[in-house]
Amino acid sequence: MTEPATAASKAPGLAPDEPGPGAGDPPALAVDRVGFGYPGRRVLDEVSLSVRAGELIALVGLNGCGKSTLLRLTAGMLRPDAGRIRVAGADVSGLPRRAAARRVALLHQTAPAVPGMTVRQLVRQGRYATRGPLGMLRDGDDAVSRRAMADVGVADWADRHVDELSGGERQRVRLALALAQDAPLLLLDEPTTYLDLRHQLEVLQLVVRLRTERRMTVLMVLHDLGLAARFAERLVALRDGRVAADGPPADVVTPDLLRDVFGVDGRVGRDPVRGWPVCYPDTPTALAPAPAPRPPAPAGRPADVPNSAGGEAR
């Protein structure tokens, strides 16, 4: 796993007087007994999660189990009606929107069309949280947006219009937009949506590389359990708005998980070369009633997850 940033290697997005993560510092993300719902529908209930700096975690589960809602709460776009979410020790609900955006970058599952906008212009929008409205009036790219385009391989497309790009190319540009926020915590909501197999692999391999090079913490939602087990070092499975499983892919991905979380009878094997779990779903099955949740561990204490846990991130 990537070594966390130290005081000599400050995490991105923090002001000069803000300490970077190190020994004794709070988790990069601490979700403490969070609940959230809409009128007539409870989405999350008593969710607790602790994420160390530098971890790469995948959230998995059926549609509607609360994965995307948890990302939006973490980004400060929604407020929990119970519990608390802290990013690097700060309650994200109490931060102004621009301050939250300097700590957390969220790549949404879908994005509105941007007719007439070039790659350069779109990526520069990620600098708003740092530069502010007056700073955005200045022409030209700053070093952070130039690095974001270079890191995802879109610098040569800077003057092309976004709506002329393929789906895989647009996803790279959107990732550059998120990186331009220069935040230490990156949230990805279904980054492989609508992509073919080749572009799915390219995007996830890019995320793994950027996580290492930029010393970032990454929390991503993936529907494909096979890709999640391959690329993440830790899986968190949600069912009915609660954490149903949390740990290394080799421990979490089991026939019981397929049945109890995904409603599928199936088998689980191992890739013969790399060793990550491989799922063989057979037939849909009725979900059994969810068991009563165990008392969550305190969110301020990092989860006991081995550094070598699963995934292509190693």
| 278 is a domain residue | yes
Instruction: Look at residue 112 in the predicted model and tell me its pLDDT.
Output: 79
Instruction: Look at residue 139 in the predicted model and tell me its pLDDT.
Output: 60
Per-residue pLDDT band for 289 (boundaries 50, 70, 90) equals confident
- Cα atoms found within 13 Å of the Cα of residue 113, Cβ hemisphere only: 4
| 259 is a domain residue | yes
Q: pLDDT above 70 covers what percent of the chain? A: 81
Average pLDDT, the chain: 85
| 200 is a domain residue | yes
Per-residue pLDDT band for 299 (boundaries 50, 70, 90) equals very low
pLDDT tens string 124-160: 988 877 766 655 556 666 899 999 999 999 999 999 9
* CATH code (residue 273): 3.40.50.300
| 15 is a domain residue | no
**Residue 8 predicted with pLDDT over 50:** no
Instruction: Look at residue 10 in the predicted model and tell me its pLDDT.
Output: 40
Alpha carbon distance 125, 141 (integer Å): 10
Instruction: Evaluate whether 47 touches 31 at the Cβ level (below 8 Å).
Output: yes
Alpha carbon distance 148, 294 (integer Å): 42
Alpha carbon distance 61, 239 (integer Å): 6
| 84 is a domain residue | yes
Instruction: Look at residue 21 in the predicted model and tell me its pLDDT.
Output: 47
* Overall pTM surpassing 0.85 (yes/no): no
User: Using CB atoms within 10 A of its CB, is residue 302 exposed (0-12), middle (13-18) or buried (19+)?
Assistant: middle
| 143 is a domain residue | yes
**Residue 65 predicted with pLDDT over 50:** yes
Residue 235 Cα distances to 137, 214, 225, angstroms: 42, 21, 9
Look up residue 94 and give its DSSP letter.
G
Number of domains comprising the chain = 1
Q: pLDDT above 90 covers what percent of the chain? A: 71
Instruction: Look at residue 18 in the predicted model and tell me its pLDDT.
Output: 41
Q: Kindly give the pairing relationship between strand 104-107 and strand 234-239.
A: unpaired
| 17 is a domain residue | no
pLDDT tens string 234-264: 999 999 999 999 999 999 999 999 999 999 9
pLDDT tens string 164-211: 999 889 999 999 999 999 999 999 999 998 899 999 999 999 999 999
Instruction: Evaluate whether 267 touches 255 at the Cβ level (below 8 Å).
Output: yes
| 310 is a domain residue | no
Q: How many CB atoms lie within 10 A of CB 228?
A: 28
The domain of 223 spans 29-284
Alpha carbon distance 235, 247 (integer Å): 6
